[in-house]
Amino acid sequence: MNLVQLLEIRNKEIIDNAAQALLCARLRHYQIIEMGENRHRLERLYGLAVECVKQRNLIPMLEYARQVARERYPSSYDLQEVQTAFNLLEEEVWKWITEELTPIDYPQSFGLISTVLGAGKQALAAEYVALASHRNKEAPSIDLNALSRVL
């Protein structure tokens, strides 16, 4: 069995376990969303990760991560919350790799899934920074001259 076969065969278990871990993580915004919606989001992320691994193409993950940032940032999701969802899914895949694949397959398998999800996390963070810096340009600046007059 190779990584792609593992990801296809164990997809339900991986998503179920990641969804449960997300619930246990007690992340503010993910707690108020129904479990079904969290699962749907994880399914979408997982499906993209599998496709990116199969095609050896990061573009779909990068585009999706940027889209997620543009959706979550205005809703006041912390970057850490969203990245935790990526991390929990990645950790679950790692568990299955060690359970189902042979040690000789570990380096390539860990490398592939971590590259795909890591690229997604990096794109997510970069988009959050871009959104935050744009927002901060619109924020009023502090008048330090007024402060020095008081002193």
Query: What percentage of the chain exceeds 70 in pLDDT?
Result: 83
What pLDDT was estimated at residue 28? Answer: 62
Query: What percentage of the chain exceeds 90 in pLDDT?
Result: 68
What pLDDT was estimated at residue 75? Answer: 84
Q: Which fold has domain 3-138?
A: Globin-like (1.10.490)
Residues of 113-148 as b/e, b for ≥16 C-beta within 10 angstroms?
beebbebbbebbeebbeebeeeeeeeeeeeeeeeee
Give the residue extent of every domain in the chain.
3-138
97 SS3 class: helix
In this structure, are residues 28 and 81 in contact, taking their beta carbons and an 8 Å threshold?
yes
What pLDDT was estimated at residue 29? Answer: 57
Token pair, residue 11, equals 């997809």
**Block residue for tokens 């920074």:** 129
pLDDT exceeds 90 at position 135: no
pLDDT exceeds 80 at position 80: yes
Taking the model in full, what pTM does it have? 0.83
Would you tell me the crossing angle of helices 35-55 and 11-24 to the nearest 10 degrees? 130
**Block residue for tokens 């600046």:** 141
What pLDDT was estimated at residue 53? Answer: 97
Give the residue from 66, 21, 46 showing the smallest Cα distance to 116. Answer: 46
Provide the pLDDT confidence category of residue 25 given band limits of 50, 70 and 90: confident
Give the residue from 53, 67, 63, 55 showing the smallest Cα distance to 7. Answer: 53
CA–CA separation, 116 vs 52, rounded Å?
7
Residues 85-102: tens digit of each pLDDT: 999 999 999 999 999 999
What pLDDT was estimated at residue 22? Answer: 83
Provide the pLDDT confidence category of residue 142 given band limits of 50, 70 and 90: very low
Separation of first and last alpha carbons in the chain: 72
CA–CA separation, 134 vs 109, rounded Å?
38
Provide the pLDDT confidence category of residue 123 given band limits of 50, 70 and 90: very high
What pLDDT was estimated at residue 23? Answer: 79
